[in-house]
Amino acid sequence: MAASGLLLGGFVLVHLAENLLLFKGEAAYNGWVDMLLANPVTPFLEVGLLLIFIAHIVTGAWVRVEDFLNAPAGYEARNWQGGRTVGSATMLYTAAAILAYLVYHMLTFRFTDHSMGFYQMVTYAFRDPVFVAIYVAGAAALALHLSHGMQSAFQTLGLNHPKYTPYIKLLGLLVAVSMTGFALISVYYLLGIDIRAAQAGYNVIVIK
């Protein structure tokens, strides 16, 4: 579970970097996505990613079942993996929210008509407040999930040392906080900051 979690953490960081290309404009974003789709290795990476997701969900569910079965009678099986934080107490709920978000994300961005171009599809979708609210909620769930998940994964893999643990925790927290970047991207287009920048004479591409 820890290894698949870290791999997924790596994926979301890379995916965030990819989506920051939106700020570089249409040519940069579409050029990158088109290049990925044209690469013969990409379908294998996609299947690998799906298998990692499935492994994470199955092992996560198994840990919960084991916790439940091994809990002494009269105790709640909730105090697993060290001290409690909002992140650790809500892991199951944030996991369910991320899964629901991902299904929505795949239906709206992945398995849909891309003929207008990826940049146009994404920026047009982010003009809709309901769409953006779902993206902000998804990013918040992801940030909360990773606030516990990252450092818990490092600990499980044995990267635990009195001297380095505070830095490992800080790194996990930074990765978690960076997930708000997904929300900021969507809010940027919702507020039409690109349109205002274009009106102010900055050289940005605007899709209305």
Interface with ligand HEM by CB under 6 A: which residues? Answer: 12, 15, 19, 33, 37, 46, 98, 102, 105, 109-110, 118, 122, 135, 138-139, 142, 182, 185-186
User: Minimal distance in Å, beta carbon 162 to ligand HEM?
Assistant: 33
Alpha-carbon distances of 14 from 7, 11, 45, 46, rounded to whole Å: 11, 5, 13, 14
Asked if 206 and 198 count as a contact pair (C-beta separation under 8 A), the reply is yes
CB-nearer residue toward ligand HEM: 37 or 65: 37
Closest to ligand HEM by CB, 46 or 128: 46
Q: Whole-number minimum distance, CB 28 to ligand HEM, in Å?
A: 14
For residue 14, the minimal CB distance to ligand HEM (Å) is 10
| C-beta closer to ligand HEM: residue 67 or 117 | 117
Work out the number of other CB atoms within 10 angstroms of the CB of residue 163.
6
Nearer residue to ligand HEM within complex by CB, 2 or 95: 95
**Structure token digits, residue 161:** 């040392």
Give whichever of 71 and 181 is closer to ligand HEM, judged by the CB atom: 181
Shortest reach from residue 25's CB to ligand HEM, in Å: 14
In the numeric block, which tokens belong to residue 46?
């996609």
Q: Return the structure tokens found at 33.
A: 């996505």
Minimal distance, residue 164 CB to ligand HEM, in Å: 28
Cα separation, 86 vs 31, in Å, equals 40
Coil, strand, or helix at residue 89? helix
Nearest to 60 by CA among 122, 16, 2, 100: 2
State the Cα–Cα distance between residues 198 and 92, nearest whole angstrom: 43
